[in-house]
Structure 1
Amino acid sequence: MTPAAQHSPELRAAARHFDRRRFLTVTGAAAALAFATNLPAAGAAAAAPLDAARITENPFTLGVASGDPLPASVLLWTRLAPKPYEPDSGLPAERVAVHWELAHDESFRWTVRRGTATAHPECHHTVHVEVGYLDPGRVYYYRFRVGTWISETGRTRTAPGRGDKGGTASGLSFAAVSCQAYSGGYYTPYQHLAQDDVDIVFHLGDYLYEYAVNSVGGNRKYTDRTLPDLFNRETVTLEDYRLRYALFKSDPDLRAAHAAHPFVVTWDDHETENNYADDIPDNDVPPEEFLLRRAAAYRAYWENQPLRTPQQPSGPDMRLYRRLHWGRLAQFDILDTRQYRSNQAQGDGWQIPGPESADPSRTMTGATQERWLLDGWAKSDAVWNVVPQQVTFSQRRDATGDNYKVSMDSWDGYAASRERLLAGADAAGIENLMVLTGDVHRGYAYDIKRDFDDRSSRTVGTELVATSISSGGNGSDKPANWDTYMTANPHMRFYNGLRGYVTVALGRTSARADFKTVPYVTTTGAGISTAASFAVEAGKPGLTPA
């Protein structure tokens, strides 16, 4: 196949300016795509205004959210959807004035900011409000109003500043979550996370799944409702992706978690299509057609996530990698390991490593993002350098001995790309590297080795892999391959197959990670427990039981 780098510019241009006659004649993914590539500009008012009195049902069925906290600002999100399971969400193609408030207290007696935003039909009546001139390191409460309808109240916070007032932030607690297939089961872990005392939540991908969801919700086995047939097909068009977000975000436990904590999100593959790589799909659809699907998926992702203006997509392109700080305690470099990667070597499954996977030209991040990360490390003055990303970073062999296989979709399939990052961390003098991972529906804890093929190699960081929220169904406490994995990968310090999430408490001298799991998700009501806890001492990489 022609390398993606050789044809991406032309294909991306085609996705932005696809000829309508050609558009109407292609088959597969592009056949039903019909959407404007560009989002409305600030102040745009092409659509007629809607009288809020005409909205006779609650428009806040998908809740509220906040994200990407900065020292002086927060990002607030909501989407108006009186009928979320209908393509138009129950609203005409008219713009809606949405009033918002931000306060120091939950009762809104001490309001510090308020304003009005416009929910455009072109953006499926979503709202992204960037509120500035706030105090660093402070909790705020927010809500939205349309006519007489008032949303639930959300809780968010600003990050500590890097100067005298907040730059010496001494503590931070966060959660890492991933993989929430609606048909896999209930989002019970989110019910518990909403009550957890964390400052921020990192979502590491697979927020959405493209696969069909049947009338009973898969493993949820609904008996009190029937989901519409429009969910019982794979997502391909913009309408498909928008409707699927409506289904997922209507879950009360996910809504509760979003309302309780600010989220920092990044995607993996299923928000678009399983195991895609750059402009190369998982099937035999032509790249120019897949880029149309990718443009739809990326647009729906931005519409439905608490993301700031720099993350707005342009056709099939969207810069999702970005950097956040928590005072001088932590630097977060959020990666995108899907949009710029080389195609998987030797197929995208488990294979014996070979010359193709070892090719030094192969990249997981693309050259520009890789340089951005290495430059950011070189300039970092943070105690902890945390990298929220998608796929397993540490080596993960499936067997003992020399005839082992590794996942070609993970960093094992991009060994040279991983080596460049490890060398860059060394060169930058990064002492406290922590990688956050999702994707695999398992909880893992790894010591990151400078050379994974040398068992005596020094430990240079920690990788914490968050299990799924629901993907894979109930799972098991000790998967069948537990003994093999733990023996074949001595740097693997923990392996668990139940659903849940991981929380991390960062301090200036140490960190603590708690792997929290629920025994089942195919029915409601499961309690939560801590499966394992680990500590890391600052300046001395390596996990120890806590």
Structure 2
Amino acid sequence: MIKEEVPRSAARLARRRFLTLTGAATAVAFATNLPAGSTANAGTGSLSDDPFTLGVASGDPLPEAVVIWTRLAPRPYEPLGGMPYHAVSVQWQVATDERFRRIVRSGTASAKPEYSYSVHVDVRGLEPGRHYWYRFKVGRYLSPVGRTRTAPAPWQRVDQLSFAVASCQSWPDGYYTAHRHIATEDVDAVLFLGDYLYEYGISTAGGLRYVTEPVPSQFRTEADTLDRYRLQYALYKSDPDLRAAHQNAPWISTWDDHEVQDNYASLTSRTNAPVEDFLVRRASAYRAYWEHMPLRTPAPRGPNYMLYRRLRFGRLAEVSVLDTRQYRSDQADGDGWKADSAVRRDPARVLAGAQQRQWLLDGVRGSHATWNLLANQVIMSRMDLDPTVGNLYNMDAWDGYGAEQQQVLDGLAALRGRNPVVLTGDVHAAYALEMKRDFADPASQTFGVELVATSISSGGNGQEVSANGQKFLDGNPHLKLVNERRGYIVLRLSQHELRADYRVVPYIDRVGAPVSTVKSFVVEAGNPGLNPG
């Protein structure tokens, strides 16, 4: 895999600035080995409470491997999660049945304070394309049992696959009822496309959740330090529906902006903070993200992390996971929805960056899979907010980076036979779009589709179609669906077709909402386009 970087001059400057930062807090936050006291004692005698309050998870399935995860935090809102300040031994087991009568892999991992007592085990030597069950043990405490699934062998002919697609889960905006329903879907994996958490401070009342006990005072301020991001993840993972969705299937995750700061761009913060300060914040956010997600080692070291990657599911599907935050140029014209401009179309401005862009197109070109899924954060297709008053584009989406957008779209159009399917989050609405060689011409050839998952909770209860949503429908004939309720997409793939079921819940300001399929589309292999399902 080609390693992507920020532009070389910026990367060198960023690293020099980061490495010259002083202060004990910075040194401790990003150390990989703390003094001997943090690693010498592997005892568990001081654990008087269940350490598995944040649940278990698995992710990034390979044909013979999968990552299993947990984090020890008996009192998750206390410093160190209520853990003693030394490493703790954690036993793990993987079995072919949920009763663990046939354990096929087991071992011991070390949960260390410098990684917030998170555990990432890359379990190897598994069989392709089958379910496994896993659990952890510390002292007398057993974790919940998680279910996972390995990917099919690379050259295996696979008759069917299924994925849930989700994004955007602001904790105070409402309950994660959609995740409870995802947990009941029998999918091979969950594709989570960003905004796993939001960095904003949280009120005492907990927003739309109307909590019975006040949210602790340490959550009032915005997350911008390593400890504060860790607290935010602990609060989000306190949700039982989110834990259930993690427990039921492996996740393939990527980040967007709110895991660090709203609409940040590479080295540029939303508030234009000094680069030195923002690099510390970005390093803290990336470190906390890795600590709390089922990702492979190594952990991030400093303010950069290689997140984009590709996973193969036999000859039926490949998933290319993008990172459209770490390498992008600053948004044009001060961000927001703006009219077309030379700055928007400047070829020097990038969203994915040259190396990631080449990696993406080379991967799709060389793919032997029937379907090529692109796990993407922000809308890639052309989207005009209101064509009647002149082109208005979202400067934070691919539209804000017109030259690179066109390069990627042209590249995918040339690879129409590879069945590219772009999967997107970010906008808190369900969209379905046909990707056109010329978006201004409805009769232009369709070369792929973009399926946009609405949010899990961000935006509150939502509605069917807002005034802006209707503007999108009226002004973008390649847009075939707008729905602004909360929910997710279920994809079901075969050699002949892809079916997308848009699943929504009617409310999230209280628990117990039912789920329904608001719209279904079918895409034929070799014949891109959205057909009624």
Which TM-score applies when normalising by structure 1?
Answer: 0.94
Q: Distance in 1 between matches of 2:515 and 2:28?
A: 43
Q: Distance in 1 between matches of 2:470 and 2:440?
A: 19
Of the candidates 53, 57, 63, which is equivalent to residue 71 of structure 1? 63
Deviations 1:243-273 (A, max 9, x none): 1000001110000000001000000000000
The question of whether the paired residues in 1 share the 8 Å contact of 2:46 and 2:84 is answered with no
In structure 2, give the amino acid aligned to 1:350. Answer: W
Task: Extract unaligned runs of 5+ from structure 2.
Answer: 1-5
Distance verdict in 2 for CA 1:7–1:147, change over 3 Å:
same
- The answer as to 2:307 corresponding to 1:314 is no
- The answer as to 2:499 corresponding to 1:512 is yes
Deviations 1:165-185 (A, max 9, x none): xx1011100011100000110
Match of 1:350 in 2: 337
Match of 1:365 in 2: 352
Task: Extract unaligned runs of 5+ from structure 1.
Answer: 25-31
- Secondary structure class of the residue paired with 2:16: helix
Q: Distance in 2 between matches of 1:306 and 1:329?
A: 24
Q: Distance in 2 between matches of 1:529 and 1:429?
A: 32
Q: Distance in 2 between matches of 1:537 and 1:76?
A: 35
In structure 2, give the amino acid aligned to 1:262. Answer: P
Deviations 1:149-201 (A, max 9, x none): 000000001000023xxx10111000111000001101010011101111100
Match of 1:209 in 2: 198
Of the candidates 15, 20, 25, which is equivalent to residue 18 of structure 2? 15
For 1:273-312, list aligned pairs within 5 A. 273-309=261-297, 312=299
In structure 1, give the amino acid aligned to 2:293. Answer: Q
- The answer as to 2:74 corresponding to 1:85 is no
* 1:110 to partner: Cα distance: 0.8
Match of 2:28 in 1: 35
- The answer as to 2:187 corresponding to 1:187 is no
Of the candidates 103, 110, 116, which is equivalent to residue 118 of structure 1? 110
* 1:430 to partner: Cα distance: 4.0
Match of 2:3 in 1: none
Of the candidates 319, 324, 330, which is equivalent to residue 311 of structure 2? 324
The question of whether the paired residues in 1 share the 8 Å contact of 2:413 and 2:437 is answered with no
Match of 2:129 in 1: 137
* 1:39 to partner: Cα distance: 3.1
Distance verdict in 2 for CA 1:50–1:216, change over 3 Å:
farther
The question of whether the paired residues in 1 share the 8 Å contact of 2:416 and 2:448 is answered with no
The question of whether the paired residues in 2 share the 8 Å contact of 1:8 and 1:279 is answered with no
In structure 2, give the amino acid aligned to 1:106. Answer: E
Q: Distance in 2 between matches of 1:102 and 1:61?
A: 20
* 1:40 to partner: Cα distance: 4.7
Q: Distance in 1 between matches of 2:405 and 2:249?
A: 32
The question of whether the paired residues in 2 share the 8 Å contact of 1:15 and 1:295 is answered with no
Which TM-score applies when normalising by structure 2?
Answer: 0.96
The question of whether the paired residues in 2 share the 8 Å contact of 1:510 and 1:536 is answered with yes
Of the candidates 69, 78, 102, which is equivalent to residue 94 of structure 2? 102
In structure 2, give the amino acid aligned to 1:171. Answer: Q
In structure 2, give the amino acid aligned to 1:291. Answer: L
* 1:51 to partner: Cα distance: 2.3
- Secondary structure class of the residue paired with 1:84: coil
- Secondary structure class of the residue paired with 1:460: strand
* 1:121 to partner: Cα distance: 0.7
Q: Distance in 2 between matches of 1:391 and 1:544?
A: 24
Q: Distance in 1 between matches of 2:30 and 2:43?
A: 27
* 1:33 to partner: Cα distance: 5.0
Deviates more, 1:97-106 or 1:424-433: 424-433
The question of whether the paired residues in 2 share the 8 Å contact of 1:377 and 1:430 is answered with no
In structure 1, give the amino acid aligned to 2:256. Answer: D
Q: Distance in 1 between matches of 2:158 and 2:422?
A: 21
Deviations 1:419-438 (A, max 9, x none): 11122224445431100100
Q: Distance in 2 between matches of 1:442 and 1:428?
A: 28
Deviations 1:204-226 (A, max 9, x none): 0000110001122111111x211
- Secondary structure class of the residue paired with 1:496: strand
* 1:480 to partner: Cα distance: 2.1
Match of 1:240 in 2: 228
Match of 2:256 in 1: 268
In structure 2, give the amino acid aligned to 1:143. Answer: R
Distance verdict in 2 for CA 1:247–1:34, change over 3 Å:
farther
* 1:418 to partner: Cα distance: 1.6
| Percent identity of equivalent pairs | 50
- Secondary structure class of the residue paired with 1:481: helix
- The answer as to 2:463 corresponding to 1:476 is yes
* 1:80 to partner: Cα distance: 0.0
* 1:76 to partner: Cα distance: 0.3
The question of whether the paired residues in 2 share the 8 Å contact of 1:208 and 1:271 is answered with yes
In structure 2, give the amino acid aligned to 1:128. Answer: H
The question of whether the paired residues in 2 share the 8 Å contact of 1:513 and 1:535 is answered with yes
- Secondary structure class of the residue paired with 2:388: coil
Q: Distance in 2 between matches of 1:249 and 1:447?
A: 35
Q: Distance in 2 between matches of 1:361 and 1:513?
A: 36
- Secondary structure class of the residue paired with 1:88: helix
Deviations 1:75-105 (A, max 9, x none): 0000000000112100121000000000000
